[in-house]
């Protein structure tokens, strides 16, 4: 039996960095009944703003092409293919697979607006 393991060093390094940031910030999140996220910890004497915590969590989210495809499909059904094509053009792409991975977070923000 032969086992092959491929490690993408960039993704691994980014994941480790994100973990270090999360540990450093000591984020402890609690999801409430209405699905809003509230910070339950403090850094020094400063309370965390729940909106800031949510934005930071979104910044650290790592999206995959499958997430982008799904989001575009949902967007196109709701707002039309022409609007979806406009968003693709903003990111210099004619189809979802041409979107650069580094732009995934920004694309998701635009699709969710």
- Within 26-112, residue ranges assigned H as helices are 50-59, 65-79, 81-90, 104-112
For residue 49, what is the DSSP state? P
Closest CA to 27 of 45, 13, 48: 48
Question: pLDDT 10s per residue in the chain (113 long)?
Answer: 777 766 666 777 777 777 767 676 544 443 333 344 444 444 444 555 666 666 666 666 788 899 999 999 999 999 999 999 999 999 999 999 999 988 998 999 999 88
Is residue 28 helix, strand or coil?
coil
Q: How many CA atoms lie within 13 A of 48 on its CB side?
A: 21
* Residue spans per domain, the chain: 9-59, 65-112
Measured in whole angstroms, how far is the alpha carbon of residue 67 from the centre of its chain? 9
Single pTM value for the model: 0.48
CA separation for the pair 14, 101 (Å, rounded): 13
């Amino acid at each position: 039996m032969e086992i092959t393991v491929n490690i993408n060093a960039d993704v691994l390094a980014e994941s480790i960095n994100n973990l270090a940031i999360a540990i450093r910030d000591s984020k402890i999140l609690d999801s409430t009944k209405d699905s809003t996220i509230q910070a339950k910890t403090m850094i020094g004497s400063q309370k965390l703003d729940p909106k800031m915590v949510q934005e930071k969590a979104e910044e650290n989210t790592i999206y995959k092409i499958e997430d982008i495809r799904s989001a575009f499909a949902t967007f196109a059904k709701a707002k039309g293919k022409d609007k979806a094509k406009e968003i693709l053009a903003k990111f210099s792409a004619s189809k979802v697979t041409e979107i650069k991975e580094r732009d995934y977070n920004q694309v998701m923000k635009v699709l969710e607006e």
